[in-house]
Amino acid sequence: MEGLMKGPYRSKRQREQRIAEAVRRPLGFTLAEILVALALIALLGAALLPVVAGQILKGDAGRVTEDLRSVQTGVEQFLADIHRYPGKYSDLSKVITTANTDINAVAYTTGLVAKWAGPYVAKDTVSATITTGYGGLITNTFMKVANTNSINYVTIVITGITGADFDRIDLQYDGVVNRTGGLLRWVSTGGIDSTKFLATPIQ
């Protein structure tokens, strides 16, 4: 008789047994499984967080050095066309007029205005500043700063970069950290952190 009981009856019985077993089996994860998963996530986070943070900081330093080199190149191209050193960042981004002055506070002549072939930089000034890495702001007005060789340089000034962030920039720029020497310098006066880049010597 057992041998005759085939087909739908046995299949139905097996299905019922399987359903009963599934109902008895607990759903979800055990506490041990959850704790193991959390421990693995914590280990991965501890290993990857310093790497990710380091890359973000490196990216900011790279952005600052790239922006400084871009302005330096713009100053050199402006000099090649106008034969004067620009007094402001906006001289590189907008057509100059006879009302604008060079780094020596001398007004541009009509003939020099006609030679302007910019823009010499990609970014334009917004509210007299240009944003860069680490939340720094490149100021519109260039400075004249004397280097140790007693030659004045067209100097780009960035405000808002801390000393620690400057160290990262300086290390990436020339491989050495020196806040008071070289072409990159940092000073904090009156609560204002300033990074100065001596971009181009004034001959």
What band does 1 get if pLDDT is binned at 50, 70 and 90? very low
DSSP string, 48-114: HHHHHHHHHHHHHHHHHHHHHHHHHHHHHHHHHHHSS-BSBTHHHHS---TT-BBTTSPBPPHHHHH
190 lies in a domain?
Answer: yes
pLDDT at 90: 93
173 lies in a domain?
Answer: yes
Between 105 and 60, the more confident residue is: 105
Angstrom distances, CA of residue 194 to CA of 29, 52, 158, 166, 184:
55, 27, 6, 9, 11
Q: What gap in Å lies between CA 27 and CA 165, rounded to an integer? A: 51
The mean per-residue pLDDT over the stretch 129-152 comes to 92
151 lies in a domain?
Answer: yes
44 lies in a domain?
Answer: no
pLDDT at 165: 95
127 lies in a domain?
Answer: yes
137 lies in a domain?
Answer: yes
53 lies in a domain?
Answer: no
168 lies in a domain?
Answer: yes
Range of the domain at 70: 61-201
Between 56 and 113, the more confident residue is: 113
Quote the number of domains for the chain: 1
pLDDT at 173: 86
What band does 23 get if pLDDT is binned at 50, 70 and 90? low
pLDDT at 190: 85
